[in-house]
């Protein structure tokens, strides 16, 4: 399931978009792209081909299973699930679940 480009008016009819206290919450599941993780962002590509770059801030929480992790522990090709909010043109990740490397096909 990939995230959609969420707008306030689309929030109730698009999968992956959830209205919450006048904010749009985006959800995406996919793999970390070759651009990977840098100091302030992570790029994720869903299985349906949707690619988006998410801004990271000091409040972004990362989990690896039940363990608290850090942004530095996210690697290229890791499978991730994230929740983010969109403000203007900026999409900020708030929760990232890291499931480890993508299995070989």
| Domain residue ranges of the chain, discontinuous segments joined by + | 8-101
CA 74, distance to chain mean position in Å, is 12
Task: Return the pLDDT at 8.
Answer: 56
Query: Is 8-101 CATH 2.40.50.320?
Result: yes
Task: Return the pLDDT at 51.
Answer: 87
Task: Return the pLDDT at 96.
Answer: 93
Q: How confident is the model at residue 94 (pLDDT cuts 50, 70, 90)?
A: very high
pLDDT of 56-77, one tens digit each?
A: 988 999 999 889 998 888 888 8
Straight-line distance from the first to the last Cα atom of the chain, in angstroms, rounded to the nearest whole number: 19
- If you average pLDDT over residues 67-95, what whole number do you get? 89
Average pLDDT, the chain: 79
């Amino acid at each position: 399931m990939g995230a959609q480009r969420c707008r306030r008016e689309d929030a109730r009819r698009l999968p992956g978009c959830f209205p919450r206290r006048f904010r749009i919450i985006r959800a995406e599941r996919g793999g970390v792209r070759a651009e990977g993780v840098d100091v302030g962002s992570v790029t994720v590509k869903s299985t349906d081909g949707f690619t988006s770059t998410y801004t990271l801030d000091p409040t972004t929480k990362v989990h690896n299973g039940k363990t608290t992790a850090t942004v530095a522990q996210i690697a290229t090709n890791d499978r991730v699930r994230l929740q983010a909010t969109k403000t203007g043109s900026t999409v900020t990740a708030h929760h990232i679940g890291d499931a480890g490397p993508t299995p070989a096909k």
